[in-house]
Structure 1
Amino acid sequence: MVTRDERCLILGRGAMGRMFEGLLRHRLHVETWDRDPDSGTETAPLENQLADAQVLILAVPAKPHDELLRRVAAALPEGLLCLTIAKGLDGEGRTPVQRMAEHLGEACDWGALYGPMIARDLSEGRPGFALGAANGDVAGERIQSLFAKTRLHVQASRDTHGAAWAAILKNVYVPLIGMAQGLGMGDNVRGYLVTAALAELARIVERMGGDAATAYSLAGLGDLVTTATSLSSHHRSLGEDMAQGDRSMLADKNGYIRSEGVHTAAMVAKHGLLPLDDYPLFALTHALFEDSSDMESRILSMLGQLE
């Protein structure tokens, strides 16, 4: 049972970090930590704030997970529950869950939260939903207890790697759905692309060591449909912009990743994480990120091949 005496430290003060702060501040003592992306100045020494914390939530991108988790492991307080919500790959092509397994192992309870949990909706009092993929049954129970009686409804899972790959790779497929939308290809094409993307996603999740069924969970299907249909979806808007010839959101800005899906596709290709020929929708989307000429004919050609 979570009590007001317990301390929760949230890393990151973006929309998701602020949402979790509002969601949990009436249940336990919440503190936040952040650092300036330009100067590297931290709001406080992480190790000092981490001391005596019972819960740690990493509401930061995938890129700094390696460094931050090394520091967490070196100053690990007893009984810590560590959670990540990051949906990307770092520069070495590693998922946040892989970094948690590497640095935390069995030294503490840890897990990931993935699913339809848009920060705006939760912050405005609407419900959200997540798969709490944990490194053990006890960790799963702790995650569910942490969010019990909040607006975030959590289902427990032990498939940490499957959940991570499902949530991360869906950001590659959503821009393709956005491209079809921007080209005016119709609702039928959107429905077909969602179905085909899920089937391909399930095969990839299984190849990466997860359970294929996790692709159809909140971390996969739930997050994919939400991101593909939300009016505020950055990933869908990216595809729509590309369909209109605007590729400005594809590029990183001053070293900062502007689209997790684009970066993920690039890291998968760079590190040879998948044989792209085995996954035609993924391969097409990656190719369109590189060169979006003749977009409509290439998508139509792919649809014909998938029949």
Structure 2
Amino acid sequence: MTSSLHILILGHGEMGHAMEYLLKDRHTFAIWEQFPQRNYPYTMLEQSAPLADIVLFCLPVNPHREVTQRIAPLLKRNGSCVSIAKGLDESGKTAAQIFAENLPAHQPYALLYGPMISEEIRAGRYAFAQLGCHDLAAFHAIQGCFNHTRLYIEHTFDIAGISWPVILKNVYAMAFGMADELQLGDNVRGYLATAVLQELNQITQVMGGQADSSYHLAGLGDLITTATSESSHHHELGRKLAREETDGISGEGPHTLKMIKQHRLLNTENYRLFQLIGEIVQNPRNVRSKFDDYFKQAFQHPPQN
């Protein structure tokens, strides 16, 4: 049985509450909130960071750099920083890249990605994730924190390989919402699943991930969860775009499209579906016709021998 650890939870939104639910009965924990508005005994970073065995970043990726720089001098030598953020910051960097650039070389860090809907966690349902980190001792400590819960964690060294699928799936999930709103049918949903996986696999390898990265929990698992759930924010964004609505089109998916274009992280012309989604987000008009054109182009060239 894992002994009680000191856990610092950064951020008290949906996932902050989910982590609190999972850990409160077995570990000593404190919660820091960047913008506290409720009557809750939030901690100060300077007070809790030096005590923390594990720091859980339940924050969007944009504040990661500032917060990491604040706590880096305060952390225990073997204290682990763990992020669940699935996005790019304004410089186009992933949470893993931010940790690598701003933590001391000896400081362990990890990424926790997979099918982890916060509402289901707090309802006592199962959740699953890959934990990407280079330090196996840190992995065992983090996994041990959740041994008594229904969050099941497996290890991978492939940090780039889990970072990019979970970021890009927010983009691709919008296509599923568009198709459902347009009532394109189950056949199209099946096609989208294969087309997305193919592009995810290609992009992830370009970004430094292993060839099979997209077929695991942080890839296919998280894609299905986000792309097919009616409660998914990005699925709903896709529905809005198919209705040619432009208000409220915000989130990690649209932001990822913007950052990839702004920082030229990808040659998007190589990825037809990704490019289609970007065009629709920019100009949500005649969405059905754009899908028609996409399917025709996707199948106009016969397979090469």
Q: Same fold (TM over 0.5)?
A: yes
Look up the match of 1:65.
64
Q: Which one of the candidate residues 276, 279, 290 is aligned to 1:284?
A: 276
C-alpha deviation, 1:105, in angstroms: 5.1
The yes-or-no answer on 1:184 pairing with 2:183 is yes
Residue-by-residue CA offset, 1:237-284 (whole Å, 9 max, x unaligned): 11011111222121xxxxxxx410000011000100000111111111
For the pair 1:235 / 2:234, whether they are aligned, the reply is yes
Aligned length: 296
Give the match for residue 267 of structure 1.
259
Check conservation: 2:83, 2:112, Cα contact below 8 A: yes
Partner of residue 288, structure 2:
296
Look up the equivalent residue of 1:295 and give its one-letter code.
V
Q: Over residues 216-239 of structure 1, what are the superposed CA-to-partner deviations in whole Å (9 max), with x where a residue is unaligned?
A: 110010000011111210100110
Contact 2:130–2:217 (Cα < 8 Å) also in 1? yes
Q: Which runs of 5+ in 1 are unaligned?
A: 251-257
Give the alignment's TM-score, normalised by structure 2. Answer: 0.93
* Partner Cα separation in structure 2 for residue 164 and residue 105 of structure 1: 21
Give the distance between the partners of 1:161 and 1:105, measured in 2 at CA.
19
In structure 1, what is the equivalent of residue 108 of structure 2? 109
| CA distance, structure 1, for counterparts of residue 44 and residue 142 of structure 2 | 26
CA contact (8 A) 1:2 1:28 kept: no
Per-residue CA deviation, residues 57-92 of structure 1 (Å, 9 max, x unaligned), is 000001001111111212222320110000110001
* Whole-Å separation in 1 of the counterparts to 2:294 and 2:104: 42
Inter-partner Cα distance in structure 2 for 1:306 and 1:146: 46
Question: Matched residues in 1 for 2:117 and 2:52: separation?
Answer: 26
Alignment RMSD: 1.6
User: Which letter does structure 2 place at the counterpart of 1:89?
Assistant: L
Q: Give 2:302's aligned residue.
A: none
What's the offset of the Cα at 1:109?
A: 1.8
CA shift digits 1:28-77 (9 cap, x unpaired)? 11110002189xxx944312221111010000001001111111212222
Task: State the match for 1:3 in structure 2.
Answer: 3
Determine the C-alpha separation between the residues in 1 that align with 2:63 and 2:11.
11
Task: Report matched runs for 1:103-182 at 5 Å.
Answer: 103-104=102-103, 106-182=105-181
Deviation at 1:142, TM superposition (A): 2.4
Give the distance between the partners of 1:80 and 1:202, measured in 2 at CA. Answer: 33
Q: After superposing the two structures, state which structure 1 stretch, 117-126 or 77-86, moved more.
A: 77-86
Q: Is contact 1:109–1:138 with CA below 8 Å preserved after alignment?
A: no
What letter matches 2:279 in structure 1?
A
Q: Secondary structure at the match of 1:248?
A: coil
Return the alpha-carbon distance in structure 2 between the equivalents of residues 166 and 21 of structure 1.
Answer: 26
Secondary structure, aligned partner of 1:131: strand
Counterpart residue number, 1:254: none
